[in-house]
Amino acid sequence: MNKLWLIAGGPALVYAGLAIIMGVLPGIALSQTPPGIGVKPLTPIEAEGRAIYAANGCGYCHTQQVRPLAQDKVFGRPSAPGDFAYQTPELLGSERTGPDLTDIGTRQPSAVWQYMHLYNPRSVAPQSIMPSFSWMFDVVDKAPVGTMTVPVPAAYAPAEGVVIPSHQAQALLAYLMSLKQPPLAQAVANEAATPAAPAATAPSPTASSSTTPAKSAAAYDPAKGKSLFTDKCAICHQAGGTGLPGAFPPLKGNAVVNDANPSAHIHTVLHGAEGLTIGGVKYEGAMPEFASTLTDAEIAAIIDYERSSWGNHSPTITAAQVAAERAKGK
Amino acid sequence: MRTFTTPRTSAGNSSDARQSDEPGLVLILSAYTISATAWLIFATFVGILLAYKFGAPDFGPGAWLTFGRLRPIHTNDTFYGWASIALVGLAYYVAVRSCRTQLYSQWLAWVGLGLFNLAAVAGTIALDLGYNAGDLEYREWPWPIRLIFLAALVITAWNLIGTVAKRSTQDIYLSNWYTIGGVLWTCMIAVVAILPWYQYGLGQVSVSGYYMHNAVGMWFTPLALGLFYYALPKLLSRPIYSYALGVFAFWTNLVFYPIIGAHHFLFTPLPWWLQTTAIVFSVAMLVPVLGGSANFLLTMRGRFGDMRHSYPLAFIFVGVIGYLVGSTQGTVEAFRSLQQVWHLTNFTVGHSHLTMYGFVTFAIWGSIYALLPGATGKQASRLGLGLHFWMAVVGSFIYVISLSIGGTFQGLDWIQGAPFIQSVVDMQPYYVWRGVGGLLMFLSHLVFAWNVWHMTFGRGAEVNSLAPALADRIAG
């Protein structure tokens, strides 16, 4: 072959065609995807936080895409096309060194926890390998009125002064709190039809059978309870049930957990709590509700684990008791 | 079917070969190689720092050393500092030699080198200051900096085409198909990546999928393959096994590769047909991959023992195996069933190192060791070559194997519904082994820099002083 214009021009032309078909045209078509119901544009401070998220490469370890796979259920409902209407630049990511953040505003709504975790992730999650973002915080003698003091545990706190979030940290928090999946239309419909059922998931093209059917109430499985507790609760209340002083209450020796009447315990796990004073300490953080994400059996397993661990000895409960409490409503 | 021979494969006369090289071209190849080597050392030093942070996350606090800013510096500088600059320098040299002509413009080659370096320096500073275009992999540099890189590409394309246009051979050797094609395609990729009008929300996700894979597969792959087609016949003094198979692999690579990008976003809300098409063509990629690899291995038939005497050949051989294994692995990873385990885990990090390192980087090294001594008349020591080769091979083997095993456990942890932190804890030993492999790789790069110095401006052994048979093969 000895014609340069053919050798250079031919493949270039073929490639130009393919680049348009596979790059530009799908881009044009999908850029017009309308926002889903309840998907809102970001407020200015949320947008600022999103820029901080990208600038510091959060997207290299945290995805923002929930796949319709069983293992992704913990992160929320499967992502829908309409979820990404206001997501430019896209932050779907390619690695999950840390957990997915699509729905983190729902899964961990506590500002206290988020600030502690950003200041030093190991202060709330000892095994975390996430970098510390302490440079987004200021150390001052006394927090200005109206500014939250971050209750950093002594091991991680500066020698003197108190830690307060800088504007950067506040913007980042605002963005993280904005990451809440609005329910899909279909899920809303399902919920309306069967109010007691946990949020239904969207159609799954690779429906997996790995979800275990709800266990009978009598069979309390400590391994299952521990696993669920580690996944859902330990991030605040810690693996040893000790909580974190001033930030998250202990469950070890906790009056509600050790109450022979489990009603308050079940109610807290189902519906969350906020602004409680426990053992004379006032806790600012909010505990999320689990009624919409966990089944009665799963909640019973968690509660039974809490009631029989770390020296706690109170009667265990059954899924039926959770169902009864759930039926009572908030 | 016509059989072509590479120019000079039978000549093997080193002194004649050196005389025919313009001093300016030798200087350009040396400068591109040295510049690329500096980026390799910087980018992989950053890589070591990143690997260390997996075990010591509080090491290197502060904004400038935070993981999320260093990671894109590592990837972009290995891509656009190290591999791109090294490949372009070699592509110039291969174009001149295979066309038995002179460079179209030495001045343009220097301008191109300046722009490549300017883009990489500016990009590194921008990323460290937090000017990241949005964590969009391999296009994190702010767009004005990517325009500088595009300008360097356009200059390179112009210069390569101009060089081939004034060839004294009748035919255009296959290597030049790959290198000219690669540069022209990448100009288009860069334009598609920069223009914003079709990159909103989900639209940008589809462009990211396209871009991510094309920046790798239509840039590094064709340039590295072009080097194989030149260096392998040169080292063995025999023509490529089948020229026609090479042409076939060229066209199939061109048609299949641009379609597979969406396999980076399987199970996302991208249209299901787009994902399925990407999977189908990921399987089709076996055609050019197996065709190309078979062509290279059959060119080596009966001569594998030559590797005992020729480290350049050994580097190329590892590069070919890296191409074969890494690309086949890519096909396998595209299946939905396997992606349920491996996607989003460290397995993909192992895959990207198997391909960018085991394939592309070894191809570059083999070509530099095969061609640079012939150009400068200076040879690195056998000890230096041996140290570089074995540390790089063993290091990358440990790296890829540890992340592949660890990534599999990570994926299985998720499938079994273990608490997320369990997958972080389970990765720890594999992160350590990755660091061990990475450290060996980094040390080998220091030896490589030492070798490059000997082959260029330092005191390298005269090529003629080596065993005559070897000198014939390296030179010319």
How many Cβ atoms are within 10 Å of A223's Cβ, its own excluded? 9
**CATH number, position B379:** 1.20.210.10
Amino acid (1-letter code) at residue B82: W
Structural domain count of chain B: 1
| A137-140/A273-274 β-pairing | unpaired
Q: What number is the ipTM of this complex?
A: 0.92
Chain B nearest CA to A77, separation (Å) = 12
Supply the pLDDT for residue A206: 43
What chain B residue is nearest to A20 in terms of C-alpha separation? B192
Hey, what domains does chain A have and what are their CATH numbers? 39-182 (1.10.760.10), 217-328 (1.10.760.10)
Q: Are A65 and A79 in contact (CB under 8 A)?
A: yes
Let me know if residue B9 belongs to a domain.
no
From the list B360, B446, B364, the residue with the least C-alpha distance to B41 is B446
Q: Are B295 and B241 in contact (CB under 8 A)?
A: yes
Amino acid (1-letter code) at residue B245: L
Let me know if residue B290 belongs to a domain.
yes
CB contact under 8 A, A71 and B205: no
What whole-number distance in Å separates Cα of residue A237 and Cα of residue B439?
39
The structure tokens listed for B215 are: 């920046």
Let me know if residue B2 belongs to a domain.
no
Let me know if residue B229 belongs to a domain.
yes
For residue A57, is it left (φ>0), alpha (ψ between -120 and 50) or beta? left
pLDDT block averages, 10 residues each, chain B of length 476: 40 41 91 98 98 95 95 98 98 97 96 98 98 95 98 98 95 97 98 96 96 95 98 96 97 96 95 96 97 98 95 98 97 96 97 98 98 94 97 98 98 95 97 98 98 90 54 44
Let me know if residue B69 belongs to a domain.
yes
From the list A287, A295, A290, the residue with the least C-alpha distance to A323 is A295
From the list B328, B316, B356, the residue with the least C-alpha distance to B229 is B316
From the list B358, B231, B369, the residue with the least C-alpha distance to B311 is B369
Question: Is the pTM here over 0.90, yes or no?
Answer: no
How many Cβ atoms are within 10 Å of A8's Cβ, its own excluded? 22
Residues of chain B in contact with residue A210, where contact means CB-CB under 8 angstroms, are 415, 417
| B461-462/A162-165 β-pairing | unpaired
How many Cβ atoms are within 10 Å of B396's Cβ, its own excluded? 24
Supply the pLDDT for residue B422: 95
Supply the pLDDT for residue A75: 95
Quick check: B213 contacting A, CB < 8 Å?
no
- Out of A15, A83, A90, closest to residue B254 by CB: A15
Supply the pLDDT for residue B21: 63
What would the DSSP string read from start to end of B46-98?
HHHHHHHHHH-TTSS-SGGG-HHHHHHHHHHIIIIIIIHHHHHHHHHHHHHHH
Supply the pLDDT for residue A98: 97
Rounded to the nearest 10 degrees, how much is the dihedral formed by the CA atoms of B17, B18, B21, B23?
A: 180
Q: CA B179, B185, B191, B193 torsion: positive or negative?
A: negative
Long-range CB pairs of B464-467, under 8 A, 24+ apart, other chains included:
B464/B14, B464/B15, B465/B379, B466/B379, B467/B309
Amino acid (1-letter code) at residue B217: G
Supply the pLDDT for residue A231: 84
State which residues of chain A have pLDDT below 70.
Answer: 1, 185-219
- Phi and psi (nearest 5°) for B61? -75, 175
CB contact under 8 A, A63 and B344: yes
What is the CA B405 to chain-centroid distance, rounded?
Answer: 24
CB contact under 8 A, B207 and A27: yes
**Residue ranges in B334-419 assigned as alpha helix (H):** 336-342, 347-353, 362-376, 382-415
Residues of chain A in contact with residue B247, where contact means CB-CB under 8 angstroms, are 1
Quick check: B282 contacting A, CB < 8 Å?
no
What chain A residue is nearest to B346 in terms of C-alpha separation? A95
Task: Quickly count helices (H) and strands (E) in chain B.
Answer: 19, 2
Residues of chain B in contact with residue A23, where contact means CB-CB under 8 angstroms, are 192, 206-207, 210-211, 214, 258, 261
Residues of chain B in contact with residue A81, where contact means CB-CB under 8 angstroms, are 202, 269
Quick check: B225 contacting A, CB < 8 Å?
no
Let me know if residue B5 belongs to a domain.
no
- Out of A2, A30, A230, closest to residue B171 by CB: A2
Its domain, for residue B333, covers 21-474
Chain B nearest CA to A80, separation (Å) = 6
Pick from B268, B272, B347 the residue to mutate for testing the A interface (most A CBs within 10 Å).
B268
Supply the pLDDT for residue B277: 96
- Provide the β-strand partners of residue A282: A277
Supply the pLDDT for residue B414: 97
Residues of chain B in contact with residue A1, where contact means CB-CB under 8 angstroms, are 171-172, 177, 247
Chain A nearest CA to B269, separation (Å) = 5
Measured CA to CA in angstroms, residue B429 lies from B71, B146, B394 at distances of 21, 38, 18
- Out of A4, A26, A87, closest to residue B161 by CB: A4
CB contact under 8 A, A61 and B61: no
Chain A nearest CA to B395, separation (Å) = 23
